[in-house]
Structure 1
Amino acid sequence: MAATLLYLLKANVVLLLFTAAYFGLLRRLTFFFLNRFYLLFALVFSAVYPVLPVPALLPAAAVLPTAMVLVEAAPASASAVAAPVAPFLNWEALGLGLYAGGAALLLVRLLVQLVSLWRLRRTARPTVVYGQPIRALTGPVSPFSFWQTIYLNPVQHPAAELDAVLRHEQVHVRQWHTLDVLLAQVAQALAWCNPAAWLLRRALLDNLEYLADHAALQTGLDRRAYQYSLLRLSHGVAGPSLVSSFTFSSLKTRVAMMNAPLSSTGQLARYLVAMPLVLAVALGFSAARAQGAGPVVPAATSPSPTGTRPASPAQPTKPDNAKAATTGTAKMAAERPAASARFVIKERNATPGIVGAPAPVYYVDGKLNNDVMNTINPQDIAYINVLKGEQARELIGKSGAKGAVIITTKQNQDRADVQAFNQKYGVQQPLAAAPEEAKGVPYLAAPALAYITKNHPEARLLSVTEVQPADGGAPQYRAEIAMGRRAHYLLFDAQGQFIPQ
């Protein structure tokens, strides 16, 4: 799955979890400041959560010992098999394009609303009412505020009602409620296909009105007269849809919240359930994905002297003899692999004590070393052998391990004791490839492997094919990678630099 799609999936799922927790546990509480913090945190956390280094925030899981398994690769056929043609329609790109188009449309609408407010500000006349600077409007428009400015028509309000309106709008201005509104609008635009984004925006706007109503009543306004004012103003002309206005569809709920008794202190426990529950589910999912799947190591492939694609791993060839099956060798080198190499190295997790997944023992230069993964640089390895059956039992006895991995390093491969140990247990050094065989062998340089690992961390490297450009330039190397059930192709030059297609 593309990184962008994975980001969108995680962000929208977490936003849905926060919304469900709010409507299920917190919506009816009168802790309006806590609800404001919860809703803002939900919007911000949902956006940044997919890019958080979640495994670094959690205790490291125990790493299972890794067993190297040498698998004989099938030789390339003389008649090259045609590579599968990539699908004509890229559904991932099409889905991302539709998603981006919807988000862009809503962002443009938000921009148009901001421009409309800017024009309204230019036409409104600045004045002062009861010591409060405002922008005076003309016509029967319901009062509203945006940023640090209150907009209303002083002529259409009686004195008592005008005082209540100003106190209400002053709360919006003092507490910077416009920031909440803009954040909710942007979140709704970016997650437009998620119903949770629309519900959370509506909940945030409602909660801001609850806050302003509660604060206005705390200044000494008569509750009943204030509610009658709301009812009268609800029949007026609504202000711009972007702003917090006196008129909105849930007026009945707004009055009910003013008349509801204050939530008891014991109800605070709901916050101790809602937020940690959502965070635990979100972080737990990411930790399970990161630690359970483990790092994806591109599978090495056997090079082909003819420059053709090797046989599929699903069709392994039969070993030439029993000795090749038990003591096959694989040379791990930093540079270009030899043409005579017939084995690839794969990795699997082995859990001691579980039937079917025994852990082998490791010997490095004739010495037991089961921490080889942390102490040996792969570039320092000259060759590797695997002992099984009687050969392994002769070396390790009845320790319970199924097999032994013999690693010989470049630095010590000529040492007398290392050669004596290898000769005793039948360790064979791979034959060097002839110079003429090494010519034209497909390979990937280190920068190419680093590019694949960074940009396609979940992909598997299937094959490498040398291709000749139509203009007769330097040969290029096409890497076939598998992402899920689909094959993709990447092109690199001889130095391993990616070539866009």
Structure 2
Amino acid sequence: MNHAINFLVESGISLAVFSLIYILFLRKETFFRLNRIFLLVSVAFSLLLPFLHLKVYEPKSILLSEVTVTPYRNLIEAVTIYGQDLSGNVVHQISSSRLIVFVYLLGLLFFMLKFVMRIAQIRKLVLKNKIRRVGNVKFVLIHSEFSPFSFLNYIFINPENRNNEGYEKIIEHELEHIRQGHTYDVVILEILTILQWFNPFMWILKKVIRENHEFLADKAVLDSGVTTTQYKKLLLNQVVGFDVQLANNFNSSLVKKRIKMFSKMKSSKLANFKYVAGALSFVLLVVIFACEQKEGIEPTPTNNKQVVLNIEGKQLTITGDDIMDILKDLLSAKDYTIDTMKEDGITYVSAEKNAETDVMVSRVLPDKAEVFIVVEEMPEFPGGDAALRQFIVNEVKYPELAHENGIQGKVFVNFVVTKSGSIANARIVRGVDPILDKEALRVINTLPAWKPGKQKGQAVNVSYTVPINFALN
């Protein structure tokens, strides 16, 4: 579900950007072929954008809002996870609302049925009327008063109007729609509009592409030798009949705009620089939506067996076949309680002195593990942000020794929410005093398992940094 919503959000934003660029800079220009290319590339790019994922290596991790701790009470201003991109925040809001999803699906069904009915309408006209083939073009002969239109390689005409003035130019106009493949543009846009029915810019984009089709066909007819005055008269005489909507219709409500456009002077070549705005938008959208920030973890020595020892807050990674037995013997001789656990092929050993409870357990990620900064589905603390705030309130205690000695300051702790949801690689990235550093690290290491983050449907490791502010006043 989240992937589908992400697709709709990112492609919708992209379509909106390009629609605005076209309307503001390019719509009034007479570079009809370039405009068509720009519009079609914009649509294709918008469809592909949600699937683009470019790796960007960046040492900074996601920063949690500051947590303030006093010796009198644990005060949290706010604990909110930042770092999700625009689409990520929107996706989260939409996916959490059943009403929004229901309304969207209802609209999707409505416009899908409407599309199918239009196709059925055209099919009915083809099946119920005589067809005359001329080369690759099929003329559907309908004895009704309407303006000719085309769909695929079909041209729908009234044969009784064959002797009317300008009839050949009308046919030439529709033939140009067929030659340039305008129907394919229309069908693709209709399908995209079904998916993006809620997006007003999608409807605008569909309208301007239909306009562009008419401008292109008009230009082809005028280039064949028809005068502007004759063609104006011909257009005005054709304002009659029904509109099938999916088809390329000679009788369009765009007649006034078409007359104005082909009567206009050709755009200056300098106007080509306006397409730079479109090119810059492509780059900007890729940077915003397609770049994934990812942090590389320095590899540690590899071996068939790896053991991570955590004793009294110090970590040591050791490799070897018999190391487990050696460690247990050494630690047992010094009255330590041993606890072992395996995850991702690594054995974690935590050692705690008997009758002491301040020894921390800190996991270390496997060799060559990838750590991401921003992913499509960010990790989630059980119960949400409110539960995370409450957990920190309950767990962070201002050390008495630090209180007595007036020690205060902000400690930055970096950690990774692993693909299994556990906390790993907890470390102090900027400390104040060993007493405060140790307390901050202790709390982070006691965080319960999160719902892991996901990228392209796969669970991944995601890095965070939380500043814990120890304040005496």
Query: For the structure 1 residues 428 and 13, does the alpha-carbon distance in structure 2 shift closer, same or farther, using more than 3 Å as the test?
Result: farther
Structure with the greater relative contact order (CA < 8 A, sep ≥ 6): 1 or 2?
A: 2
**Mapped partners of 1:457, 1:378: distance in 2:** 33
Question: Which residues in structure 2 correspond to 1:88-99 (within 5 Å)?
Answer: 91-99=96-104
**Mapped partners of 1:101, 1:119: distance in 2:** 27
Aligned partner (choices 194, 199, 212) of residue 199 of structure 2: 194
Residue 61 in 1 paired to residue 62 in 2? no
Q: Which residue of 1 aligns with 2:261?
A: 257
Whichever residue aligns with residue 22 of structure 2, its letter is Y
Whichever residue aligns with residue 190 of structure 2, its letter is Q
1:382 and 1:413 in contact (8 A); partners too: no
Cα offset for 1:92? 3.1
Aligned partner (choices 277, 280, 287) of residue 280 of structure 2: 277
Query: For the structure 1 residues 245 and 411, does the alpha-carbon distance in structure 2 shift closer, same or farther, using more than 3 Å as the test?
Result: same
Residue 431 in 1 paired to residue 317 in 2? no
1:36 and 1:204 in contact (8 A); partners too: yes
After superposition, give the CA deviation of every residue in 1:424-449 in whole Å (9 maximum; x if it has no partner). xxx99761479xxxxxxxxxxxxxxx
Aligned partner (choices 88, 95, 118) of residue 123 of structure 2: 118
Q: Which residue of 2 aligns with 1:107?
A: 112
Q: TM-score if structure 2 supplies the norm length? A: 0.60
Q: Which residue of 1 aligns with 2:378?
A: 458
Residue 383 in 1 paired to residue 386 in 2? no
Range moving further from structure 2, 169-178 or 94-103? 94-103
1:172 and 1:212 in contact (8 A); partners too: yes
SS of structure 2 residue aligned to 1:248: coil
Q: Which residue of 2 aligns with 1:211?
A: 216
Q: Which residue of 1 aligns with 2:46?
A: 46
Whichever residue aligns with residue 409 of structure 1, its letter is T
Q: Which residue of 2 aligns with 1:138?
A: 143
Q: Which residue of 1 aligns with 2:169?
A: 164
Cα offset for 1:171? 0.2
Q: Which residue of 2 aligns with 1:306?
A: none
Query: For the structure 1 residues 173 and 379, does the alpha-carbon distance in structure 2 shift closer, same or farther, using more than 3 Å as the test?
Result: farther
Unmatched runs of 5 consecutive residues or more in structure 2: 63-93, 342-371, 384-447, 454-473
Cα offset for 1:281? 2.1
Residue 244 in 1 paired to residue 248 in 2? yes
Q: TM-score if structure 1 supplies the norm length? A: 0.57
Whichever residue aligns with residue 282 of structure 1, its letter is L
2:141 and 2:159 in contact (8 A); partners too: yes
Two-structure CA RMSD over aligned residues (Å): 4.2
**Mapped partners of 2:274, 2:46: distance in 1:** 20
SS of structure 2 residue aligned to 1:408: strand
1:382 and 1:410 in contact (8 A); partners too: no
2:137 and 2:154 in contact (8 A); partners too: no
Unmatched runs of 5 consecutive residues or more in structure 1: 67-88, 296-348, 350-370, 388-403, 435-452, 464-478, 485-501
Q: Which residue of 2 aligns with 1:22?
A: 22
1:127 and 1:133 in contact (8 A); partners too: yes
2:243 and 2:249 in contact (8 A); partners too: yes
Query: For the structure 1 residues 375 and 228, does the alpha-carbon distance in structure 2 shift closer, same or farther, using more than 3 Å as the test?
Result: farther
**Mapped partners of 2:103, 2:132: distance in 1:** 47
- Equivalenced residue count is 328
Whichever residue aligns with residue 269 of structure 1, its letter is F
Q: Which residue of 1 aligns with 2:84?
A: none
Whichever residue aligns with residue 108 of structure 1, its letter is L
**Mapped partners of 1:122, 1:410: distance in 2:** 79
**Mapped partners of 1:144, 1:462: distance in 2:** 59
Q: Which residue of 2 aligns with 1:33?
A: 33
SS of structure 2 residue aligned to 1:134: strand
2:149 and 2:156 in contact (8 A); partners too: yes
1:386 and 1:406 in contact (8 A); partners too: no
Residue 149 in 1 paired to residue 154 in 2? yes
Residue 268 in 1 paired to residue 272 in 2? yes
SS of structure 1 residue aligned to 2:178: helix
Higher strand share: 2
Query: For the structure 1 residues 61 and 184, does the alpha-carbon distance in structure 2 shift closer, same or farther, using more than 3 Å as the test?
Result: same
1:126 and 1:135 in contact (8 A); partners too: yes
Cα offset for 1:50? 0.7
Cα offset for 1:254? 0.8
SS of structure 1 residue aligned to 2:166: helix
**Mapped partners of 2:452, 2:98: distance in 1:** 15
Question: Which residues in structure 2 correspond to 1:334-483 (within 5 Å)?
Answer: 372-373=298-299, 375=301, 380-385=306-311, 405-411=315-321, 413=323, 431-432=338-339, 457-460=377-380, 462=382, 481=450
Query: For the structure 1 residues 283 and 428, does the alpha-carbon distance in structure 2 shift closer, same or farther, using more than 3 Å as the test?
Result: farther
SS of structure 2 residue aligned to 1:160: coil
SS of structure 2 residue aligned to 1:406: strand
SS of structure 1 residue aligned to 2:165: helix
Whichever residue aligns with residue 186 of structure 2, its letter is V
Whichever residue aligns with residue 21 of structure 2, its letter is A
Query: For the structure 1 residues 151 and 379, does the alpha-carbon distance in structure 2 shift closer, same or farther, using more than 3 Å as the test?
Result: farther
Cα offset for 1:242? 1.5
Query: For the structure 1 residues 378 and 26, does the alpha-carbon distance in structure 2 shift closer, same or farther, using more than 3 Å as the test?
Result: farther
Residue 11 in 1 paired to residue 15 in 2? no
